[in-house]
Amino acid sequence: MEFRKRDDGRLFPPVLPNGDFIGVAHGSHLRQVLFSVRDEGLYGEGVFLLWHEITGISITDAKGFQIRSGKYASGGFGFYAGGSALLDLTGEIVTRIDGYTVDYCLMNRISYESKRQVQPIY
């Protein structure tokens, strides 16, 4: 995926900015803050993944999103699609950015950060 900087300085396709990601974790029925999106990666209660530790993200009809990483025995963590939001750094609750749900903006952020981590060798 190629990310382009728009005239207003934002990226397209849109990437999720820093803030608290709200959703329903797999195995739960409670909508709550799942993790914080930060410059370094994703930080939750007792779990954190730096951007380079995330090996991928998958989407299924039944389960929603699964963020994959070999760092933990569980292989990562997931949340159901459709009920997510971002509490951004200004205190605003955001559900869409430029028409994309925050679920997909998170997926874009993971993809964008993984490309930034790879530096060409000369």
pLDDT in tens, 69-96: 988 888 888 999 988 999 999 999 999 9
Core vs surface per residue 65-76: b (16+ CB within 10 A) or e: bbbbbeeeeeeb
Instruction: Kindly list the domain boundaries of the chain, sorted by start residue.
Output: 16-117
With a cut of 60, say whether residue 121 has pLDDT above it.
no
- pTM to 2 decimals? 0.89
**10 φ/ψ sector (left φ>0, alpha ψ -120 to 50, else beta):** beta
